[in-house]
A and B are shown apart, each in its own frame.
Chain A
């Protein structure tokens, strides 16, 4: 390989990112479900011909940093790369084939020029339903992955440019919202094609050889930047832990324990000491765990170059078989984001010991996914799926932002007016939760309250929440953020529900209220600037 010209390197690097962005715009503008089009629960990326991730669109760290692992798993265990043909699209949603949980369908398309595989485009979409025991794929009572929905091993859903209708119809037959699923899936395929065409244009322009050299150089640069940041840190092993609430089946919090070892420019993270895998669906497979670690390490290193697979090279991740963060088949994994967030916050907490001025207290550290199986008076059925997030942890010299995406995921909210136009719900509140940010010299950001009245004939409420008990930690004397909560009020009687709720019946007039966690505080609260504290009271950010 020749060393590419630094000018060409920069030009092609920007072009590769813009291919991923073009794919992202295509999904955004053509998809159907609120999950994708409003929550933006999808990601796009570009791989070189050898399957190395060279460019990402800035969407969801959880997706982006697991795509390469998934690709390697498929190639190693299911469909060798040499069997991928022009016009094929390979897709899987199997957590035990390199995926994370069943609603996430990861689709790859190889791109060929003169018979040579020059690139692979990838689009991951969280689909609105995948069958199984609960609408939206969050079956809180599942004790096996089989109860979580349809599991698709890596298969060619498109072969030589032809959609495999028998297979596609089989999938559609097994999901609750086939029309929405179909629309989102077509959008996914269209985005893969957009990316493939863009990669062919780049290959025409710069040549396949140059493109390969540049891909390698981009990975090397990212690796170099990571190693430079890691080398600046003192060698040693740093321990930290964080917790996930119980799985809703067995009582008790689950521990995530990490030993972070820096040795020169290498970093190793070992999860020995983590709780055994849970009976319920709060487990993670290594794809999730590794992805969470990658996110946390890249963020802590302050990488400024384009993030790609080169960033992963200095990182080693190990976890005992059968533990919460390396679950063994057929453990259920639907709520894998819950341990995923806490893996990230545990790793960041370990980093805080060597980077005390740069690492904030814990953000809300969870995903507030919820779904309602709706039955209308006329018998029509609908699935309402939504998600929410909370406050940032306080940075050593800055308050945490209120109600803003942080950490391992990213996402938009769905406009209340859009929800009300589509679903039999009427919101009574959407706002910040006063007092939910952890106190400190700098304050944690506030969590969010969502409260709505259920209007249809009947419904079943499912939640995949966390951090009701395992609170977002403060640092350096700062207080933890307030935890989350979920309640239903019927006829003036309020019932507190568990973070993992399945099939709680709803009747017309029921009020559902959820509050997401605030971020942790940083530093001694008595050191807070009195003027700022006064302003907080006047704005009602604190009680």
Chain B
């Protein structure tokens, strides 16, 4: 039998399952879309693989590796479709999960926010024993008391249990003891311990992350079981890895233990793709923006690498695991424009969603949306939208704009419509500025990479707002995530919190932690059967000035940590502090809070893109489009008719099946050899 030559990347979305594969024998990559099967997503996956095999001529025996992005964890959280769970805490701290950090975001509201905790109070139990701040055992676990607690958990109906004790990041002994005792009583219970899920200081964030993990274990376990059954049925024996929120891959067994790491599995594929395309186009500093119907996701690739944060949020819940840094605002094609009670024009964050959708969809929407305005201004074409399969109601959109915006604000139709776009574009630009500002970066040093269904109509104008002069449109924005997943590597994130001054006296402790993390990372890569030359271990330190609440992540040079390393770390920290906050404080002591190890197993899936060649014939079309403050009869091009090296000067519209790109007058587009398009502002 020949060596397996096919690597497959699959991204299962709400509507479509996107697949891209690479054939090692030719280096070529191909992609396709097939319907998602919501009742059994694994069937959609094997269906897509079968479809690809039939279309492109490979068998299941040719498949060497499957990389898989999934939104199953995310959707389970968003819909709160989670199994019943229990929480064991240090006695006296059962309510930490519910109290949270207890600040509110809407300071003038008299109606409280919904704070339904993920685990109700009756299923939160306090255990005996106490670990102190330095990891010392203050009080041993009283076994009869513990057994009484475990009996309550056992009879609570919980399928899964989170264990989060105070200071467990400093000493996990009690969590381990309680877990073992619980498993002895309830062998089928899924158990998540905080020292494994998020071994870092701050009990609420650790508890919330551990609870989310615990509640997701049965969800992901069920999916993995179904997936394995489908793979056996389809006679696919290749190993499968899931994509984590950090963009790295993780084996199925490990994923079942740490499902909280999958919450950004879907979006991280897009960020990986942005990173890969940035590297390929030799444009190392890129802001990737994904604009859909309701949201706008912003991620940053700086110096050719995606940026990672150590804590994020999903649906208002803190999630403290490393993840691609993503800033999301509620703005998209479905965002609704309205006049508020004080007479001010507002756009979003309320969205018409898919149902009823924009007014022009004719499904009962009555408030004008961004998509309606794009149609009114000729930027979208009622005749060619989604390949012409979907008729749009232009008159309805115009009437809604007139009644709800023009009349109350005494604006002309053009002014109202262009104004709505200006407001939404300013919001999009502000979200990008915020993402970069938080890192002390200047938008003018970045290129804007736009993907997602609605982004192409806004990208150049948003870039203008920010002083960005280069925009990149990927060849196929609709399967962009799968494309990114294909370049994923195995990645394990390990961390250990111990607050230590950044001084030579701490060197023994620092080296001991570093050695322990390295050996743990090595063991995980052993389990992945990775040879030495495919392993990379990157150590970083979270540093801060003594007393600060926030740390900056600084890379630690390889090898043993010495006095010289400490000087380097301090310099790197102060460089970052100056860049982000415009000052540093050389007189102040610096401390290490957390050491982190990223253990990477290289999978070498960097596909060369299939050579691009035009697949459609050019057609000469024009239509009136409102841009740059006036109507212009504008040429309309088919994207897939453009030849490599061909350039177009704005104003122009470029259409393909799923997206439309708007090129304002000052911009010039060039089709590259890979089929991706770069757009530059003429100066």
Contact = CB atoms under 8 A, between A and B. Distances in A.
Contacts of B122: 538-540
Interface stretch (A332-340, A417-425, A468-476, A487-495): A417-425
Interface stretch (B6-14, B232-240, B387-395, B579-587): B579-587
Given A404-B104, A431-B94, A31 B549 contact: yes
B110 A431 contact: no
B448 to A, nearest CB: 19
Interface in A146-169: none
Contact of A430 (B92, B115, B345): B92
A169 B345 CA distance: 50
A86 interface: no
A395 B112 contact: yes
Contacts of A6: 344-345, 409, 411, 419
A38 B549 contact: yes
A377 interface: no
A486 B411 CA distance: 61
Interface string B74-103: 000000000000000000111110110111
B440 to A, nearest CB: 10
Contact of B581 (A29, A359, A413, A418): A29
A58 B107 CA distance: 7
A295 B95 contact: no
A352 to B, nearest CB: 10
Interface string A215-259: 000000110110010000000000000000000000000000000
Interface stretch (A10-18, A133-141, A502-510): A10-18
Given A190-B581, A451-B92, A413 B133 contact: no
B342 interface: yes
Interface stretch (B30-38, B430-438, B470-478): B430-438
B97 to A, nearest CB: 10
Interface string A295-312: 100111011110100000
A284 interface: no
B95 A59 contact: no
Interface in B93-128: 93-96, 98-99, 101-113, 115, 120-122
Given A37-B548, A431-B93, A10 B499 contact: no
Nearest to A448: B99
Interface string A272-284: 0000000000000
A428 interface: yes
Contacts of B202: 415, 417-418
A58 B581 contact: no
B549 A58 contact: no
A458 interface: no
Given A37-B549, A403-B98, A398 B112 contact: yes
A22 B436 CA distance: 11
A305 B344 contact: yes
B99 A403 contact: yes
A417 B548 contact: no
Contact of A305 (B342, B347, B409, B548): B342
A64 to B, nearest CB: 8
B343 interface: yes
Given A61-B107, A415-B201, A431-B94, A29 B550 contact: yes
A498 to B, nearest CB: 25
B346 interface: yes
Interface residues of A, number: 88
A28 B101 CA distance: 15
A359 B110 contact: yes
Given A32-B548, A404-B112, A406-B104, A304 B340 contact: yes
A432 B99 contact: yes
Contact of B341 (A33, A34, A228): A228
B200 to A, nearest CB: 9
B152 to A, nearest CB: 13
A9 B550 CA distance: 35
Contacts of B109: 299
B370 to A, nearest CB: 14
Interface residues of B, number: 72
Given A61-B107, A186-B583, A359-B110, A7 B102 contact: no
A193 B132 contact: no
Given A221-B342, A432-B95, A412 B112 contact: no
A22 B122 CA distance: 41
B115 A401 contact: yes
Nearest to B551: A29
Contacts of B344: 6, 9-10, 13, 221, 305
Contacts of A295: 108
Most buried by A among B95, B96, B169, B422: B95
Nearest to A389: B102
- B107, B111, B585 — most chain A CB neighbours (10 Å): B107
Contact of B110 (A18, A395, A411, A417): A395
A383 to B, nearest CB: 13
B253 interface: no
A8 B443 CA distance: 22
Between B112, B418, B423, the greatest number of chain A beta carbons within 10 A of the residue's beta carbon is seen for: B112
B167 interface: yes
A31 B581 CA distance: 11
A394 to B, nearest CB: 9
A28 B580 CA distance: 13
B211 interface: no
Most buried by B among A307, A398, A421: A421
Interface in B525-583: 545-550, 580-583
Given A58-B107, A186-B585, A37 B166 contact: no
Interface string B378-421: 00000000000000000000000000000001010001001110
Contacts of B347: 10
A183 interface: yes
A224 B343 CA distance: 9
A429 B342 contact: no
Contacts of B169: 417
A401 B99 CA distance: 10
Nearest to B203: A417
Given A10-B344, A183-B545, A190 B582 contact: yes
A401 B113 contact: yes
A159 B106 CA distance: 37
Interface in A164-211: 179-180, 183, 186, 190, 193-194
A416 B583 contact: no
B423 A11 contact: yes
A445 interface: yes
Contacts of B112: 392, 395, 398, 400-401, 404, 406, 445
A32 B547 CA distance: 5
B587 to A, nearest CB: 9
Contacts of B585: 183, 186
B588 interface: yes
A299 B546 CA distance: 39
Given A58-B105, A412-B103, 9 more contacts: A186-B583, A190-B582, A303-B108, A304-B341, A416-B93, A417-B166, A418-B201, A421-B499, A426-B133
Which 5 residue pairs across A and B have the least CB separation, nearest first?
Answer: A37-B549, A7-B419, A429-B92, A225-B342, A32-B547
Interface of A: 5-7, 9-11, 13-15, 18, 21-22, 25-26, 28-34, 37-38, 40, 58-61, 179-180, 183, 186, 190, 193-194, 221-222, 224-225, 228, 295, 298-300, 302-305, 307, 348, 358-360, 389, 392, 395, 398, 400-406, 410-413, 415-418, 420-421, 426-432, 445, 448, 451, 538-541
17 contacts: A11-B423, A13-B344, A28-B550, A61-B108, A179-B547, A183-B548, A303-B108, A304-B342, A404-B102, A412-B102, A412-B103, A415-B203, A415-B205, A417-B166, A417-B169, A420-B132, A431-B94
